[in-house]
Amino acid sequence: MQSIITWKRSYCFIIANMICLYIFSQNTNSPYSVYGIGDIDNGSYNRTSGMGGTGLAIKSSVFLIDNNPAALAGLGRSFYVASIAATGKSSTFSGDPINSTNSNSKDFWIKRFTLAVKINKFWASGFGFNQFSNVNYNFAGSKFIEGSADSYAATYQGDGGLNEYHWTNAVSLGKHFSLGLKSSFISGSINQTEILDDPNSQASISTKQQDYISNFRFQSGLQYETALNKKWDLSLGGKFSPKTRLSADRTLTVTENNVVVVNDRYIKNDRFYLPDTYAAGIALKHNKTTTYAVDYTREDWSSLGIKDQGWQLINSNRISAGAEFSSFKNDRGFLVENRFYQVGAFLNNSYLQVRNTPINEWGMTVGMGGSLRNSFLYTLSLQGGVRGTTQQKLIKETFVGFTLSLSYRDFLFSKGKRYD
């Protein structure tokens, strides 16, 4: 048992450096998710996905755009919209730790579900859930025993992640302003397992650490829109999330040759912080058909002082830009959007730094969408990019993927009136 305790004390150090040693698994879908609470997902899986996720200043009366909580106020009165989004991703890894058995990965996720309704002419409300962070890695190597020349085959596995359950309310203040508040409950578990195998004695010891994490988080948003002239419209958007403490209850389970030695023992209460986050965006629309938009987001991770041996969290800056081109058709005397096409790009100076090297990401996107029928809407986008680097014996990920968002829109109530 003393050896188990000694191994556990060095667990975080081993994990932090194993990424630079040997990786033999075909399921290393997210190698950098070993740090913190995993890979935090700030993606926008809605109509703006083909614009590089650019949409802080954009709202829609038909599509459910929620990059900014204030955007819900733009929905059509008395309509509800239900939207679900999924993504698929194929990655190729490169670097010194990579070989032919672990250089590729494919994944598919349901990313979010949201239901929202414009209750009256000034108030909209919606609720749903989305993936907040993801943990998925499998590292392998060898580990020496203290005071001995003997070594064990070591495997480090991680899975789990956090989900965000949210309720958003937005109000229109006159013709130009809208305000929004997103109230979220973040919860989930992060599981880390260390497996040590002794080929001589055929002994296998598995140590599983589970962190159950949860707390509330709030995000406020503001949008302003106005007509510059007959051809151009201007929209501005901003949002803010304050520093949030996530509490974590940690348990430990130890097995030896499939015999439970320690069963789900409570270890301690820990914590993790999410930083102050500031974001702003601008959008220009020409002739109601062409939109150009730019977003900027900053996350103040450095002030939190979250770090361990070989890695730390640093300030993050993300900039994205996109354009959208819409076509319209005449439907029973009304001009209705038929289809739209998008292009975009993003650059993310990541919050993660390993061996004094930032794990940055950049990519490009294209997309399209429209109406399948009057009540059914779709958005399809493709993206490709690069994350990480091969410097300092780290791992570079080259990825391609797609996002599919499907929505259903209909009347919630009509107050006795008939709409055609």
Residue 295 sits in a domain of what CATH number? 2.40.160.60
Q: Note whether residue 420 is domain-resident.
A: no
17-42 pLDDT per residue, tens: 443 333 333 345 788 998 889 999 98
Read off the pLDDT band of 106 (50, 70, 90). confident
Handedness of CA 344, 134, 37, 313 (dihedral sign): negative
Q: Note whether residue 74 is domain-resident.
A: yes
* Residue 9: φ, ψ to 5°: -65, -30
135, two tokens: 């943990």
The whole-model pTM stands at: 0.87
pLDDT at position 159 is: 92
pLDDT at position 336 is: 75
Q: Note whether residue 205 is domain-resident.
A: yes
Q: Note whether residue 418 is domain-resident.
A: no
pLDDT > 50? residue 385: yes
Out of 276-280, 306-310, 409-413, pick the least confident. 409-413
pLDDT at position 10 is: 38
CA 222, 227, 230: angle at the middle one, nearest 5?
160
117-163 pLDDT per residue, tens: 999 999 999 999 999 999 998 888 777 666 666 677 888 899 999 99
1, two tokens: 């048992």
Please name the residue ranges forming H helices in 187-315. none
230-275 pLDDT per residue, tens: 999 999 999 999 999 999 999 999 998 888 888 889 988 888 999 9
Structural domain count of the chain: 1
Mean pLDDT of 348-376: 92
Residue 36, sorted as left (phi over 0), alpha (psi -120 to 50) or beta, turns out to be left
pLDDT at position 149 is: 65
pLDDT > 90? residue 300: yes
* Of the candidates 133, 183, 123, the residue with the CA atom closest to the CA atom of residue 159: 133
Q: Note whether residue 416 is domain-resident.
A: no
Residues in the chain: 420
Q: Note whether residue 261 is domain-resident.
A: yes
pLDDT > 70? residue 7: no
Q: Note whether residue 417 is domain-resident.
A: no
Mean pLDDT of 355-373: 93
pLDDT > 90? residue 414: no
Query: Domain containing 279: what range?
Result: 2-411
Mean pLDDT of 312-329: 94
Q: Is 33 exposed, middle or buried (0-12, 13-18, 19+ CB in 10 A)?
A: buried
Q: Note whether residue 298 is domain-resident.
A: yes
* Of the candidates 237, 186, 193, 236, the residue with the CA atom closest to the CA atom of residue 216: 186
- What residues contact residue 385 under an 8 Å CB cut-off, 6+ apart? 346, 361, 362, 363, 364, 398, 399
pLDDT > 50? residue 54: yes
At position 287, the amino acid (one-letter code) is N
pLDDT higher for 8 or 407? 407
